[in-house]
Amino acid sequence: MSSRISLFSTNDEPLLEYLNLNLSAGVFLEHIDTIDDLYSRMENNYGIPDILILGLAVQEPIRIAEHTHRISKSTKIIIFCLSNQEDVLRESIRFSPFLSSDVSAYIFKEKEEFLTILQNQVNVIENQRNYQATMVEVEKERLASITNQPLVANYLDKLLDRIPIGILNIDSKGKILNLNPSAQRLLNHDERSLIGTYLFNLFPQKELIEIKGLINDVVNDDNRNDNSSEIFCFKDPSGNLYFEMTISILSYTPIEPILNVILQEVTLKVQEESKRLIVEKALHQSEQQLKLVINAIPELIAYVDQDLRFQFNNKAYEKWFGRTREEIIGKKVWEVIGEKSYKIIEHYVKRVLSGETVTFEEKLAFEEKLNYPQKREVFIRSTYIPNFSETGDVIGYVLLTSDITQSKRDEELEKKHMLELAHTSRIITIGEMSSQLAHELSQPLTSIEAYSRACITLIQKDQTTEGEILNALENVSSQAIRAQEIMHELRNFVKKEDSRKCICINDLIKSAIKLLQLEFQENDPAIELNLRGDLPEVFADRILIEQILINLIKNAIEAMRTLAVSERRLLIESSKSQNGEVSVSVHDSGPGLSEYEINKIFEPFYTTKPEGMGMGLAITRSIIHSHGGDLIVNQNSHGGTTFKFTLPVEDIEFLGE
């Protein structure tokens, strides 16, 4: 009786040839080109394989295995897979309602190793067939022996000597009366040493008690046609063997019944089952540990299928919405979070179901939008991750949601603190610039006083014309406007508000230079401006960025005070970076900074100035970071230092929307 093996693949001809040459005689091995050909043979009840091998190139192997088992449950299926697919396939097999342990995933490494595994499967199938055939023959001959005992007995003796399954006759106490050669081989004893001994004494103590119980159950069973079978472990010098032992009543004598015992080795089957149970236990433990970890995570975690029904959620999700797991699982998303809140996230859900991973932040007022017991406004950050099937279709998504309300409040507090520090820094800067401001204001005030006195004198002497008086008054007005502009710039510079809008960085550079005119007059550096004309506007706070420019320019001037006037060179540049940001660089020709100073320069309270507080650059970097930009410092190749900052050209607070 031969075994039939079907290999379904498109590029496994070398393997087919190798198996044909090396599998045991009588095995029929065929190559299937199309799955329709396989289904057609099976559904028409011819060519049903005992073993089906699905190669690596086969698409949707789980679906094929399920359909095959619906047609023939006895077919064993081996699915070739890659190492990164093994866990997914095993999980799919385990949770499929149509598949059993007769379906296995196998990482193909070497054809010799696969040959051994396949031959063992063939041996199991052959042994099972021999066992079934023997049982049929034994039962047939037993029934025939009632009318033709001498002839049948002779035939049965020859039959029992040839079959590969162990057959013994024992009395009701378990003593061996006779046995065939296969039983002697399986029990590893000759006939002389076995006749007259008790069958259960050949097995370990634990099995001994169970075999005695099995014999008693058969002897005392009122239904004489029933068979009782169990699997027992047998200690062999080569290792543990496992036998399936089937006991039934063979005949009755005037004294006691004669029992028939059939032994079939099932070691491979038991080992495979043991491995399967170990793997299942490990998977179960892993799942339990994973559930404990996920339930301990404070973030909201859930899985939603393609029909928008919840299939999994952690404890945090239940607590957030005040629902039990039973009230969430199987429900539509809007049935759990509310229709209003679903409208907010609906476009994100559509994106993730199209295969896109989505991350977004939202501000939610729960008293209006979510069924949440705490009536407050919260900020959330959510990430939706699509889950793909073997064919690449989106079959659901994982959602991760965090309550970032506290971090947002911390950001606001940090921003407020930064603005306070920046305001203090500006007040200090105004104090340092007081002599310059006094000079700037004294000029228009002196002019106003002079023109006003001249008008008074001319009027008193009656030596003027209307045109002269008008010209003098226009000069008074222009000088008053100039003084007003200086005070307006000063008032804007000391404001606390963080009012962001689109501004031109080049205009700010020129304004900062105007405020620092006295610094330039006192130190007399050579100033060079290299401002790019086609820069986009940046979204920033005018006052804070102007403060940054003043701080950096003042630092550059102070760094060059020890140099001769002819060596003092200041270069201010504006440009556009490769990623679209606007950048400003302030270069000086001073003595430069050491590597240690560069690493420490942005830390609060660190300063290279004897009279400095060490807060200017720390505040400057905080302001730049709050705008979504960056501030760096580098040594110049020709001497001196360059401070460079970047600013984005769009509102960073709305990038996620």
How many Å apart are CA 518 and CA 433, to the nearest integer?
8
Mean pLDDT of 200-207: 88
Q: Is the pLDDT of residue 177 over 60?
A: yes
Please report which confidence band the pLDDT of residue 471 belongs to, taking 50, 70 and 90 as the band edges: confident
Greatest CA separation for the chain: 167
Query: How are beta strands 300-305 and 228-236 bridged, if at all?
Result: unpaired
Mean pLDDT of 385-401: 89
Say which residue the tokens 């920033």 belong to.
540
How many Å apart are CA 542 and CA 547, to the nearest integer?
9
Q: Which one has a higher pLDDT value, 283 or 530?
A: 530
Q: What is the pLDDT of residue 386?
A: 92
Q: Is the dihedral of CA 457, 459, 461, 465 positive or negative?
A: positive
Q: Is the pLDDT of residue 346 over 50?
A: yes
Please report which confidence band the pLDDT of residue 493 belongs to, taking 50, 70 and 90 as the band edges: low
All domains in the chain, ordered by first residue: 4-125 (3.40.50.2300), 128-272 (3.30.450.20), 298-402 (3.30.450.20), 404-496 (1.10.287), 499-657 (3.30.565.10)
- Which residues have a Cβ under 8 Å from the Cβ of 509 and sit 6 or more positions away? 529, 531, 549, 572, 574, 584
Q: What is the pLDDT of residue 353?
A: 92
Q: What is the pLDDT of residue 309?
A: 92
Mean pLDDT of 494-511: 76
Q: What is the pLDDT of residue 615?
A: 47
- Tell me which residue of 83, 85, 67 sits closest to 75, measured CA to CA: 67
Tell me what the pLDDT averaged over the chain comes to.
Answer: 78
CA distances from 156 to 126, 151, 163, 175 (A): 21, 9, 11, 21
Please report which confidence band the pLDDT of residue 412 belongs to, taking 50, 70 and 90 as the band edges: low
Please report which confidence band the pLDDT of residue 384 belongs to, taking 50, 70 and 90 as the band edges: very high
Q: What is the pLDDT of residue 57?
A: 80
Mean pLDDT of 154-181: 80
- Which residues have a Cβ under 8 Å from the Cβ of 535 and sit 6 or more positions away? 504, 505, 506, 574, 575, 576, 582
- Tell me which residue of 227, 47, 221, 27 sits closest to 121, measured CA to CA: 27
Lowest mean pLDDT, pick from 3-17, 241-255, 358-372, 617-631: 358-372
For residue 165, what are its two tokens? Answer: 């399954």
Query: Which amino acid does the sequence have at 479?
Result: Q
Q: What is the pLDDT of residue 613?
A: 39
Q: What is the pLDDT of residues 544-576, one digit of tens each?
A: 788 788 888 888 888 888 888 888 899 999 998
Lowest mean pLDDT, pick from 455-464, 585-594, 640-649: 455-464
Mean pLDDT of 504-522: 81
Q: Is the dihedral of CA 527, 533, 537, 538 positive or negative?
A: negative
Q: What is the pLDDT of residue 446?
A: 72
Please report which confidence band the pLDDT of residue 612 belongs to, taking 50, 70 and 90 as the band edges: very low
How many Å apart are CA 54 and CA 68, to the nearest integer?
11
How many Å apart are CA 73 and CA 93, to the nearest integer?
14
Do 170 and 215 meet the contact criterion of CB atoms below 8 Å apart?
yes
- Tell me which residue of 24, 6, 186, 237 sits closest to 116, measured CA to CA: 24
DSSP 487-539: HHHHHHHT-----EEEE-HHHHHHHHHHHTHHHHHHH--EEEEEE-TTPPPEE
Angle between helices 267-296 and 111-144 (to 10 degrees): 120
For residue 295, what are its two tokens? Answer: 């339930």
- Tell me which residue of 529, 530, 538 sits closest to 582, measured CA to CA: 538
Please report which confidence band the pLDDT of residue 305 belongs to, taking 50, 70 and 90 as the band edges: very high
Do 351 and 358 meet the contact criterion of CB atoms below 8 Å apart?
yes
